[in-house]
Amino acid sequence: MSNLIDRFEYTADREEFFDYCLWEYTPVVPSRNKFRSINLLFHSFDLAGVDQRLFALVQVIREGIGISRTVWGIKQVGEDIRWEFYFYDYRRRDRERSISRLLDILRPFVPCAIQADEHLHYFMFSIDVNDDLVLGARDLDEIHMYLGNVGSTVSSGICYSLSRQSTRLENFYFFFDAKMQRQEIIDKIACSAFLDSERVDINRILWPELQNCRLIVVANKQRNDCIYFSRITVDQLLFFLKQMHYRRELVSFVEENRSMLDHLQYDVGFDYRMEEGELKILKSGYYGVF
């Protein structure tokens, strides 16, 4: 634990804060000399016992992309903890934080045979990271690329999977104002191939405890749907982690350091579908930046 404490980072006077869309926000309480959200990521690394090269990978990315320009996601699938890193540049074709640039940054450490077409209008991409990647047991063989969904009546995005062999459609995302568009959110959740809204209480998906957030995102994926709650409080994060049965150590870390984390706003989400007439949660995640 002593090595982990040495890694902890603290906020400065002119700190910038971003949500999982890399949109800036103002802290909800005074923020000086409190935890950066990267401490949650590092704690999850330490808990999972990852190779030290995964910590080093974070530093390499920061040196090449900048501080507070990468979004991390901690995912829970069954008993497993997984991680995904997200990179944004809303200037699209005029982007600086591109797939090609990241691959150049990672090339000495992570082989990747994917060739990105930088003429495409993508504004975001992500990669899955784990021990196998940094230890050389696997190449970076998939990148998730996000484009705008022109013509949608709300802000919307489309995700594609890029590999060396092909480009494959993955997911659609729809962004709603949590306060102003509640009925549209309900309608979007109900309009699903994976959910019988007459058999499942909508509040089991649109959690009342998290509805007073900034944005709610509903996603349609290939095998399930997904909902995200953006800009929630630390207490709402704790509620989410407990409801989703995250490992006790992850929950305890937030509880014990609540006063060092209460300035931040958080983003959470979960994948779901009906199986044999019952609602099943397939995966969940929470997000921050480094």
Q: Which of 111, 113, 116, 86 is nearest to 101 (CA)?
A: 116
Query: What gap in Å lies between CA 127 and CA 199, rounded to an integer?
Result: 36
Provide the pLDDT for residue 152.
Answer: 87
Pair of tokens at residue 17: 């804060």
Which pLDDT score, from 0 to 100, does residue 28 have?
Answer: 86
pLDDT tens digits for range 14-70: 999 999 999 999 998 999 999 999 999 999 999 999 999 999 999 999 999 999 999
Please give the structure tokens belonging to residue 45: 């690394």
Beta strand pairing call for 80-88 and 70-77:
antiparallel
Q: What is the dihedral of CA 230, 231, 235, 240, to 10 degrees?
A: 10
The boundaries of the domain holding residue 14 are 2-289
Number of folded domains that form the chain: 1
**What DSSP designation does 255 have?**
H
H-helix or E-strand spanning residue 110 = none
- E runs forming strands in 60-138: 70-77, 80-88, 122-129
Q: What is the pTM of this model?
A: 0.95
Q: How far apart are CA 253 and CA 129, in angstroms?
A: 22
Q: Cα separations (Å) of 75 from 14, 27, 90?
A: 30, 24, 25
- The answer to whether the beta carbons of residues 219 and 226 sit under 8 Å apart is yes
Q: Which residues of the chain have pLDDT under 50?
A: none
* Rounded CA separation 69/97 (Å): 9
CA distance 44 to 74: 8
Q: What is the pLDDT of residue 1?
A: 54
Instruction: Annotate 211-229 with DSSP letters as a single string.
Output: -SSSEEEEEE-SS-EEEEE
State the pLDDT at residue 2. Answer: 53
